[in-house]
């Protein structure tokens, strides 16, 4: 048996095609070329924006139907609404605990490092018009409005707008009804499963354009904002990247170790997806492929179908770190002292406003505006956001990367809690994560299986 596993590992490690045809290498080259173009010819770099926008638009058009198919079929495959509720409850508890840790870490690091202490910005001289759009959107995002926004105008409106929270709502309702109908809805469940396979195949075609999308997005970013922006506010950017890295290695690393795998090997396994997210600044671009990789890692289809899509709206660790750390930076930059009650408000508001900020560029900036607006007595004016407006794009990559890693770890943890994690598969993948991860990405996503029972190898 050991020899067979070794032979399989050797086969997976053997190169199947030239290096220049491997997706993650193509993305790396594209990112480098985009940076060079934006640096040496900013005008041309800015004109490449449409490539990144087009790639993200292609991915986004498939996200809603894929989430609908995977969640509905995942719930129907479980066949037990009590179990569905149990898995969902465990996932939500995990999301809230880890997200709260992310918020607290952002505050602790901000207080220790004090990245904005020497900025000395004058609040009266800030141009609020530059962030007026974000502020107006945040002002309309009250608690009631946030809840009402989850309900779509019609069943199909959720698909038209692509709102993840709305898609989650109708997917869960449909899945529960299909499960309750039993054999009478077997044909519907099978049709949804087949549709899911079709959508995954389409994504498999689209993702091959990732190098073009990464090139266009990176060329525009450097051409529009320039590398100098990073130098000007390097303390905040560096602190945010370092904090996110420590969160991944220490917090998620500890959780991963308790779940039976190495966070470093897990990062190597999903390196292709990480590079695509780095180039596009959006974790949504790899949603279908990260779900496929979680299945190949040993998590059951039903857990993957419920946890990963839900995590894209409820488990945004990178966004949470960004909100608390940036809020403290702005407070320090304008010389505002925050009280304990104001800190508590920041945490509570950030926990609410982060829901639904699914890793798309700009969403984190709107949630930041909402958080600042909700602080009692408003010691930090929303206009202070102009200080970080130019570098937000550079920070969005880190937000999306951290969100992606957090959702992957959450899926494995919940699968283990449910006894639906195949430890044999997990160990095989972790033994050779780079070769297996590349093989999974280069091949079309696997079909969604009907049989979702996975025996945990204790």
Q: What's the predicted TM-score (pTM) here? A: 0.73
Q: Are 350 and 367 in contact (CB under 8 A)?
A: yes
Q: Does some domain include residue 455?
A: no
Q: Convert the pLDDT of each residue in 262-284 to its tens digit.
A: 999 999 999 888 988 887 777 77
**Could you tell me which residues come within 8 angstroms of residue 55 by beta carbon, excluding any fewer than 6 positions away?**
206, 209, 210, 212, 213, 214, 216, 217, 280, 285
Q: Does some domain include residue 141?
A: yes
- Can you give the pLDDT at residue 269? 93
Q: Does some domain include residue 458?
A: no
* Alpha helix segments (H runs only) across 248-300: 253-259, 263-269, 271-280, 287-296
- Can you give the pLDDT at residue 366? 64
Q: Label residue 3 exposed, middle or buried (CB < 10 Å: 0-12, 13-18, 19+).
A: exposed
What does the chain come to in residues?
Answer: 458
What's the CA gap between 396 and 365, in Å, rounded?
9
- Can you give the pLDDT at residue 229? 62
What's the CA gap between 147 and 396, in Å, rounded?
25
**Could you tell me which residues come within 8 angstroms of residue 215 by beta carbon, excluding any fewer than 6 positions away?**
30, 31, 33, 34, 37, 48, 51, 52, 279
**Could you tell me which residues come within 8 angstroms of residue 265 by beta carbon, excluding any fewer than 6 positions away?**
430, 433
What's the CA gap between 71 and 420, in Å, rounded?
16
How far is residue 210 from each of residues 51, 271, 317, measured CA to CA in Å? 10, 14, 24
- Can you give the pLDDT at residue 456? 34
What's the CA gap between 382 and 380, in Å, rounded?
6
Domain count, the chain: 1
- Can you give the pLDDT at residue 407? 93
Kindly report each contact of residues 169-178 with a partner whose C-beta sits within 8 Å and lies 24 or more positions away, as own/partner. Answer: 170/68, 171/67, 171/68, 171/71, 171/72, 171/309, 172/71, 172/75, 174/68, 174/72, 175/71, 175/72, 175/73, 175/74, 175/75, 175/76, 175/84, 176/75, 176/81, 176/84, 178/72, 178/75, 178/76
State the residue for tokens 């989650």.
Answer: 168
DSSP 8-state code for residue 337: P
Q: Does some domain include residue 456?
A: no
User: The domain that contains 106 carries what CATH number?
Assistant: 1.10.3860.10
Q: Does some domain include residue 275?
A: yes
What's the CA gap between 11 and 136, in Å, rounded?
56
Q: Does some domain include residue 415?
A: yes
Q: Does some domain include residue 410?
A: yes
**Could you tell me which residues come within 8 angstroms of residue 47 by beta carbon, excluding any fewer than 6 positions away?**
223
**Could you tell me which residues come within 8 angstroms of residue 288 by beta carbon, excluding any fewer than 6 positions away?**
62, 66, 199, 200, 203, 207, 445
DSSP 8-state code for residue 27: H
Q: Are 402 and 247 in contact (CB under 8 A)?
A: yes
State the residue for tokens 């409005």.
Answer: 145
State the residue for tokens 């996200």.
Answer: 63
DSSP 8-state code for residue 233: T
State the residue for tokens 């299945």.
Answer: 295
- Can you give the pLDDT at residue 66? 80
Determine the structural domain holding residue 248 and report its residue range: 2-442
Q: Does some domain include residue 249?
A: yes
Q: Which residues of the chain have pLDDT under 70?
A: 1-17, 19-20, 24, 78-80, 119-146, 225, 228-233, 352-367, 370, 373-374, 376-379, 386, 389-390, 437-458
State the residue for tokens 């149990």.
Answer: 86
CB atoms < 10 A from the CB of 41, how many?
A: 14
């Amino acid at each position: 048996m050991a020899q067979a596993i070794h032979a399989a590992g050797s086969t997976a490690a053997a190169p199947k095609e030239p290096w220049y045809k491997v997706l993650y290498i193509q993305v790396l080259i594209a990112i480098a070329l985009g940076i060079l173009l934006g640096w040496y010819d900013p005008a041309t770099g800015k004109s490449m924006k449409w490539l990144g926008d087009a790639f993200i638009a292609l991915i986004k058009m498939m996200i809603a139907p894929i989430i609908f198919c995977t969640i509905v079929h995942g719930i129907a495959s479980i066949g037990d609404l009590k179990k569905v509720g149990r898995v969902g409850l465990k996932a939500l508890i995990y999301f809230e605990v880890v997200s709260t840790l992310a918020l607290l870490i952002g505050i602790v690091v901000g207080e220790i490092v004090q990245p904005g202490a020497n900025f000395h910005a004058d609040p009266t001289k800030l141009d609020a018009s530059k962030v007026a759009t974000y502020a107006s959107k945040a002002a309309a995002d009250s608690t009631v409005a946030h809840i009402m926004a989850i309900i779509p105008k019609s069943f199909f409106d959720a698909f038209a707008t692509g709102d993840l929270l709305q898609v989650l709502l109708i997917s869960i309702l449909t899945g529960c009804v299909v499960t309750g109908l039993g054999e009478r809805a077997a044909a519907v469940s099978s049709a949804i499963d087949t549709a899911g396979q079709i959508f995954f195949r389409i994504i498999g075609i689209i993702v091959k354009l990732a190098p073009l999308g990464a090139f266009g997005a990176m060329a525009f970013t450097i051409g529009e904002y320039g590398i100098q922006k990073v130098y000007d506010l390097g303390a905040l950017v560096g602190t945010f990247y370092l904090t996110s890295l420590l969160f991944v290695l220490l917090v998620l690393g500890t959780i991963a170790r308790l779940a039976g795998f190495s966070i470093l090997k897990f990062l190597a396994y999903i390196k292709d997806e990480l590079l695509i997210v780095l180039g596009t600044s959006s974790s949504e671009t790899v949603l279908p492929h990260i779900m496929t990789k979680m299945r190949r890692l040993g998590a059951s289809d039903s857990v993957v179908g419920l946890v990963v899509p839900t995590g894209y709206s409820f488990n945004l660790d990178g966004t949470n770190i960004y909100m608390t750390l940036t809020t403290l930076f702005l407070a320090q930059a304008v010389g505002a002292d925050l009280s304990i009650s104001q800190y508590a408000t920041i945490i509570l508001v950030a926990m609410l406003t982060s829901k639904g900020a699914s890793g798309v560029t700009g969403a984190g900036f709107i949630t930041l505006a909402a958080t600042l607006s909700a602080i009692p007595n408003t010691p930090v004016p929303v206009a202070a956001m102009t200080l970080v407006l130019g570098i937000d794009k550079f920070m969005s990559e880190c937000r999306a990367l951290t969100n992606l890693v957090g959702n992957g770890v959450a899926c494995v943890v919940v699968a283990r809690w449910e006894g639906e994690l195949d430890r044999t598969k997990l160990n095989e993948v972790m033994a050779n994560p780079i070769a297996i991860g590349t093989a999974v990405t280069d091949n079309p996503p696997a079909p969604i299986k009907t049989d979702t029972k996975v025996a945990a190898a204790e």
